[in-house]
Structure 1
């Protein structure tokens, strides 16, 4: 089986364009076009309908790509296995993160990982959670580090194809402009925590749909049968924190974001309800993928790094919290 042919045709199918696929493969457009035509002649079928825009697969092309992706995954699994046999002297892992989580986590993990595996290349992709999951299923990522609430589920179609390993647990906090949260917004017996029902009318800054945090918060408020006052939707937790610091509105973010935004001095920070609202940070990967010793080590290092807080949030309301989700009240 010609692995180059499989890779080239799957790449064209992914980009729906020979020109874009050629750029991604670092070959010329004419060379790729000739390669595809030659492959179609050898196979005796047309794989692409060139009369459509963007380029689309024929029925034969759909079947080819389905089998080709399975073969490429098997080849990738074999490569990982052989890498383990050679004691991991060289190789690569492909890991995905949401952008701001990458900014926070990777600099804390990578030095330890490189010290243990200096010959292993780490290829990093960033994006929204749903896109990272799609890339895992396509075989374009080995795994992704993503947050999930304990009641949140991967959709049914993907649940049978994916599995996960726990990395650490992290608390979410309300971040508000100074003195916006009043006594009536707080839990009666917990002055460090807000009552979600009482704060629903404050102007909230949320991430746009598609982000893991937005999915979690939509579920959280729905579970309390509360409809928050959605004032603004953006794509950055750090920006949401900075907006809160400037007095624009309130937001809910994971502990790590407060440190990244460097806004503790300008905001009030509260737990959500009288018990911590937390989510789990997981390593997500395909059930049918071979999990190499290098990947297992990445998970273990990440878990060790985040078993202790790298910094402490000195929050308002007689409240201190760390980015791992534990808090002292």
Structure 2
């Protein structure tokens, strides 16, 4: 039993397919099948039940998989610890990050990191906040960069806030209700009463999206029931539709900067809700080893937010 064999079995189990595993491992499918057969022959028992459309672990396979996962994790931690001794001359970081933050933040951080530590391999996993939290719990990521509500955190994970953000209402330019907006000192956009838009169609994200859940919290707090005209998966699609008058929507204030240019819109802070709705944060699993390379990357992110006093 060696690292390669453990990885072969784990990858086949994760993908539930020898063909998919072979592509992920960059190993020819016949070679992978032969390697698996040799492992099973040596153990004297099959690890998988073969089906025409995939494979499933046997009872022995489940025990092997659990052991392989634990051993590979220990091996990875050992390699990372040795890499620290080598003063970051080599190593790897696996980062989970939400799509928006990847677009906004990575071009500002990755070049600086690579310039100082060119031999550190970086793997980026773009996903939603909930899946990032789940992968952190499983030990599949070194850390995550994401948004969260302070009342909605996973107590098994550690969240360190980088900045806070408010939500804004998005409408087409010169919307008829714009005349009711009020300027408030210290705010870059005027404030407007959400109830003025009770007859408007709202373009919102699906309920599994964290942006939507925060919007719903704001609506509940203000005792406002939006008339939902369309549900989407992407906030920028919602913003652009609102900008051309196809309803209105709500997005985080920080998202405005990345959206400027095409499809200009008007933005308003929501009366009665002028407070941070979510936070941008770095998330780690305290139970997992955090390499020096990961800590250095996190420090660069913190310094960037501190220097630029970002609200995203």
Q: Could you tell me the TM-score, scaled by structure 1's length?
A: 0.83
> How many residues of Structure 1 are paired with residues of Structure 2 in the alignment?
308
Structure 1 residues 51 and 277, CA gap change in structure 2 (3 angstroms): same
In the alignment, is the contact (CA less than 8 A) between 1:307 and 1:324 conserved in 2?
no
Rounded to whole Å, the distance in 1 between the matches of 2:264 and 2:133 is: 36
Report 1:231-242 matches (<5 A): 231-242=229-240
In the alignment, is the contact (CA less than 8 A) between 2:244 and 2:263 conserved in 1?
no
Q: Which residue of 1 aligns with 2:253?
A: 255
CA shift at 1:11, angstroms?
0.7
SS in 1 for 2:245: coil
Q: Considering only aligned residues, what root-mean-square deviation do their CA atoms show, in Å? A: 2.7
Q: Which residue of 2 aligns with 1:11?
A: 11
Q: Which residue of 2 aligns with 1:317?
A: none
SS in 2 for 1:55: strand
Structure 1 residues 132 and 257, CA gap change in structure 2 (3 angstroms): same
SS in 1 for 2:67: helix
Structure 1 residues 219 and 41, CA gap change in structure 2 (3 angstroms): farther
Unaligned stretches of 5+ in structure 2? none
Rounded to whole Å, the distance in 2 between the matches of 1:11 and 1:181 is: 57
The answer to whether structure 1 residue 72 and structure 2 residue 67 are counterparts is no
The answer to whether structure 1 residue 81 and structure 2 residue 81 are counterparts is yes
Rounded to whole Å, the distance in 2 between the matches of 1:201 and 1:43 is: 68
Rounded to whole Å, the distance in 1 between the matches of 2:93 and 2:259 is: 29
Structure 1 residues 267 and 309, CA gap change in structure 2 (3 angstroms): farther
CA shift at 1:53, angstroms?
4.0
Structure 1 residues 115 and 230, CA gap change in structure 2 (3 angstroms): same
Rounded to whole Å, the distance in 2 between the matches of 1:287 and 1:61 is: 30
Rounded to whole Å, the distance in 1 between the matches of 2:307 and 2:180 is: 31
The answer to whether structure 1 residue 267 and structure 2 residue 265 are counterparts is yes
Rounded to whole Å, the distance in 2 between the matches of 1:96 and 1:221 is: 30
CA shift at 1:46, angstroms?
2.1
Report 1:1-329 matches (<5 A): 1-51=1-51, 53-154=53-154, 159-160=155-156, 162-180=157-175, 182=177, 192-263=190-261, 266-274=264-272, 275-309=274-308, 324=311
Q: Could you tell me the TM-score, scaled by structure 2's length?
A: 0.87
